[in-house]
């Protein structure tokens, strides 16, 4: 291996976010959420959804997730326009699914215009992903999607991502 490749690899390792940096970034994101994260949090906070306890802006591995219910291994993401068909999101979702999490992604327009369907999709996902603590044997992933689901713009059904 030549010195240029070795040097690039060393730089890449140094650029990986540290857990301390991720925790600091998550805390900053909790203090200043974007509009649709605030709206989603209003739906999820305080166990309003069938008693589900969500936390916001939590570090899981090398990622910060918008909302997570650890008991049901369920992650909810509020996706703005920057998330349209991103390869990075697919890789992230696959890694999170490999850790036993289901990932639900909702576009801003869905949070704004189809709130009841967003709530229904989250509750349905929690039912399909019983808690390992409740004797459910862990999260159940949809084999067709690897655990990641997205509500369509029409909000009429779920489709795999």
Secondary structure of residue 75 in the 3-state scheme: strand
Q: How far apart are CA 140 and CA 100, in angstroms?
A: 8
pLDDT in tens, 115-150: 999 999 999 998 876 555 444 433 333 333 344 444
Pairing of strands 148-151, 74-79: unpaired
What is the rounded distance in angstroms from the CA atom of residue 54 to the CA atom of residue 111? 17
What's the CA dihedral at 10, 12, 15, 17 to 10 degrees? -110
User: Do the strands 102-107 and 74-79 form a parallel or antiparallel pair, or are they unpaired?
Assistant: parallel
Q: pLDDT of 19-49, one tens digit each?
A: 888 888 888 787 888 888 999 999 998 887 8
Residues 6+ apart with CB under 8 A from 70: 53, 55
Name the pLDDT band for 156 (thresholds 50, 70, 90). Answer: very low
Q: Given a cut of 90, is residue 111 above it in pLDDT?
A: yes
Is 0.95 topped by the overall pTM?
Answer: no
Instruction: Determine the topology of domain 19-160 in CATH.
Output: Endonuclease; Chain A (3.40.960)
148-151 vs 102-107, strand pairing mode: parallel
Ordered by start, the domain boundaries in the chain are 19-160
Contacts of 66 (CB under 8 A, 6+ apart): 37, 40, 56, 57, 75, 76, 77, 78
Q: Of residues 72 and 6, which shows the higher confidence score?
A: 72
């Amino acid at each position: 291996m030549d010195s240029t490749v070795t040097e690039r690899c060393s730089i890449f390792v140094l650029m990986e976010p540290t857990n301390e940096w991720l925790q600091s970034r998550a805390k900053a994101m909790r203090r200043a959420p974007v509009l649709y994260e605030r709206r989603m949090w209003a739906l999820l906070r305080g166990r309003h959804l069938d008693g589900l306890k969500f936390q916001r802006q939590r570090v899981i591995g090398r990622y910060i997730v918008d909302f997570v219910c650890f008991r049901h291994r369920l992650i909810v993401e509020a996706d703005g326009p920057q998330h349209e068909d991103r390869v990075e999101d697919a890789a992230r979702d696959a890694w999170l699914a490999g850790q036993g999490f289901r990932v639900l992604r909702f576009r801003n327009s869905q949070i704004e215009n189809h709130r009841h369907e967003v709530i229904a999709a989250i509750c349905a996902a929690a039912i399909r992903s019983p808690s390992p603590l409740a004797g459910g044997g862990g999260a159940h992933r949809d084999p067709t999607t690897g655990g990641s689901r997205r509500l369509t713009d029409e909000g009429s059904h779920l489709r795999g991502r």
